[in-house]
Chains A and B, each alone.
Chain A
């Protein structure tokens, strides 16, 4: 069982997975779109692997009314680590083409899923932190009101509608995950005969 090698197709798919991981380093992974009557064109906060992008200055300017802490890339250790994590995933995917063991692919997939869960928890934690840790001396204090953006989906925060969804990089990561899952299913389920032989 340990000797079973993955097919050529799976190797090609692994190459694509590696490319997707590398690509994620250059495009935003996640976006929080904000709409308000005064911003018909919308504002967007974009999370890259290594920085916060989009209309950060404007959003920071607006958030001072409600006493939300300002967002700065350097305050998040995540943006230093994430590029290495994606780089690591890309490297491992490439190595697997040569190692070509299906069990190894399975481990890669499991660790990726674990990463996604951890990332979601981390994202939620920060959202909670920024949404709740408000300056008590802020100009606008609405009793009981928190400004935690949704983990995913839509939520109305005072005059702003916040819409939290994956950006290009997020979809690429999702693609990488689906491809990995496909390789595993293909290698474990449909290659059972090979296994016996």
Chain B
């Protein structure tokens, strides 16, 4: 009896052990022995790649080194950045201006680097703003946002800022179709089908990177989601995924998931260009901001534009074509040869791959399945190269390694799947932690991928790092993809929520003419002070302009009197240093905005409205030198109507001290 009991107990233990061993393996098992070595970059050594990562709801862009995952810098784009004064100082406030006025935040989803002949060229990086539709351009010589253009007739600029292979255009699309800006938008929401339109925008990029909306295409009201340009043989075409072909305006999670297939819209933009040239576009009254930062004056200007050219996709029959794609497609990715277009239906149980040649044939032979809101629908089979069967659950995005392989993220089954583009066979699977969104391979959406690494950006972090309360960092995971099997080598936390990212070889950026400091003699700021002798304080009515200089380790002037309650004081601070990595900061007590962080040779302006009588200190906030703590000054604030005259000095007690 006792033995029996023992046996039964043993049996339970065994069964228990069996169940436990069936449990999916711990994530640690996914890491191989030499992972640390592969991701290790010794102190003082440089990384192999720059990784530019969208900040999502942070509105900014983060720059990491790969393979170390070290955060190199956060570049402010669409959100105010108190530490650098972006959006707070007078010079950069115009950068965040829109037709809605000053917008201090946005949701930055995707980045696309400029390309030449379909290869990343390291000149600029483009960024989209999802909430208040805009595209920004960051100059990679200065890592500074130098241009932002707003997009009219749009809402939710999600399928952006993808570019053509010679950076001819950067595109935008509308995720939330809305009534166009020039009509009365005061309509019932359930008149979606009748009144709502989907606009896509083609923004021309000039030689110096300057952006200008060349034309927009008015399409049926759907949700445009993601896009990618054709390349090589398919150069001249652009592909946009769209969902909600049901045209639902409420409870989209159900109502926009009804149809078996939505669409990938193929746009013949070369043809569209011809129509614009032929005068087929109509001029439409709109209002949108175009903001440019001038490197010589260190100052941004915002200009309101009032007109845009619009082509009608319905009337002009041969610029847009719908390709059926199961089910609510998200990612829309074109392989390095330009032949294959991968559509990732979020709810689909397979991944369809379309062939550019077949699409062209289908158009030539009119192999249509009727039309969608006046736009021809190509027969699914006529456009299809093939389907990846049983790939995983919840496919989202695909990147390429240049060796004929594709890598697709699966949100629901939390994995990356490697498959062969031609044969559509699945080659490898790797779990990710947890639920990946975008992924990127260096140059992975260009003609020439550098297929050594792959980074996957996960939406859920949970237990990957030490806990930090309810709010956690997001997680990126680096894989070595140089072998047959994908090999996880590093996790690193990211700022904001990363969406699409770009990666370029370090030398391409390092050797692009990186600016180390601004030359003082080239500083054309209207309030520049080129030397201490020129520093001064000028009163014009209630406005006081302080022409101030800073150099290790003092401000000039550092004693200012004669400021009165009711004044608006503008501190125009010029950093006189002419060497790399000697910034100075400027902060003054009670300022209702932020600090200034001034690079060598730069001028920046902080507006300050004194609110009380007294002595207000200001100081340098960037530890600049051994005598940084001595770098300070005082402003005397007198009551309104006081007779204290404006005086300023440095190094002498002037006026002489009195009782």
Residues of chain A at the chain B interface (Cβ within 8 Å): 55, 57-58, 61, 65, 139-140
B577, CB-defined interface residue at 8 Å: yes
What is the CA–CA distance of A58 and B551 in the complex, to the nearest angstrom?
11
B625 to chain A, nearest CB (A): 8
Q: Judge whether B626 and A61 touch: CB under 8 Å.
A: no
Could you give, for residues 551-576 of chain B, a 1 whenever the CB lies within 8 Å of some chain A CB and a 0 otherwise?
11100000000000000000000000
What is the CA–CA distance of A74 and B552 in the complex, to the nearest angstrom?
25
A45 to chain B, nearest CB (A): 15
Question: Which secondary structure dominates where chain B touches chain A?
Answer: loop
A-B residue pairs in contact (CB < 8 Å), sample of 17: A55-B579, A57-B578, A57-B579, A58-B578, A58-B579, A61-B551, A61-B552, A61-B577, A61-B579, A65-B625, A65-B626, A65-B627, A139-B553, A139-B626, A139-B627, A139-B630, A140-B626
Residues of the A chain whose Cβ atoms lie less than 8 Å from the Cβ of B553: 139
B456 to chain A, nearest CB (A): 36
What is the CA–CA distance of A55 and B578 in the complex, to the nearest angstrom?
10
Q: Which chain B residue shows the least CB distance to A159?
A: B626
Interface size class, chain B? 10 to 19
What is the CA–CA distance of A140 and B552 in the complex, to the nearest angstrom?
13
Instruction: Please give me the 10 A-B residue pairs with the lowest Cβ-Cβ distance, nearest first.
Output: A58-B579, A139-B627, A57-B578, A61-B552, A65-B626, A61-B551, A65-B627, A61-B577, A58-B578, A140-B626
B305 to chain A, nearest CB (A): 43
Residues of the B chain whose Cβ atoms lie less than 8 Å from the Cβ of A140: 626
Residues of the A chain whose Cβ atoms lie less than 8 Å from the Cβ of B577: 61
Q: Which chain A residue shows the least CB distance to B625?
A: A65
Residues of the B chain whose Cβ atoms lie less than 8 Å from the Cβ of A58: 578-579
Could you give, for residues 224-258 of chain B, a 1 whenever the CB lies within 8 Å of some chain A CB and a 0 otherwise?
00000000000000000000000000000000000
A147 to chain B, nearest CB (A): 16
Q: Which of B583-639 contact A (CB under 8 A)?
A: 625-627, 630
Q: Which chain B residue shows the least CB distance to A39?
A: B579
What is the CA–CA distance of A140 and B577 in the complex, to the nearest angstrom?
20
A157 to chain B, nearest CB (A): 15
Q: Which chain A residue shows the least CB distance to B627?
A: A139
Residues of the A chain whose Cβ atoms lie less than 8 Å from the Cβ of B630: 139
Residues of the B chain whose Cβ atoms lie less than 8 Å from the Cβ of A57: 578-579
Q: Which chain A residue shows the least CB distance to B579?
A: A58
Residues of the A chain whose Cβ atoms lie less than 8 Å from the Cβ of B578: 57-58
What is the CA–CA distance of A57 and B521 in the complex, to the nearest angstrom?
14
B518 to chain A, nearest CB (A): 14
What is the CA–CA distance of A61 and B578 in the complex, to the nearest angstrom?
10
What is the CA–CA distance of A55 and B579 in the complex, to the nearest angstrom?
9
What is the CA–CA distance of A50 and B625 in the complex, to the nearest angstrom?
33
What is the CA–CA distance of A65 and B578 in the complex, to the nearest angstrom?
17
What is the CA–CA distance of A65 and B553 in the complex, to the nearest angstrom?
9
Residues of the B chain whose Cβ atoms lie less than 8 Å from the Cβ of A61: 551-552, 577, 579
What is the CA–CA distance of A61 and B554 in the complex, to the nearest angstrom?
12
Residues of the B chain whose Cβ atoms lie less than 8 Å from the Cβ of A65: 625-627
What is the CA–CA distance of A112 and B545 in the complex, to the nearest angstrom?
60
Q: Which chain A residue shows the least CB distance to B581?
A: A38
Q: Which chain A residue shows the least CB distance to B551?
A: A61
User: A57-B578, A57-B579 provided; 15 other pairs, C-beta below 8 A?
Assistant: A55-B579, A58-B578, A58-B579, A61-B551, A61-B552, A61-B577, A61-B579, A65-B625, A65-B626, A65-B627, A139-B553, A139-B626, A139-B627, A139-B630, A140-B626
What is the CA–CA distance of A133 and B630 in the complex, to the nearest angstrom?
25
Q: Which chain B residue shows the least CB distance to A58?
A: B579
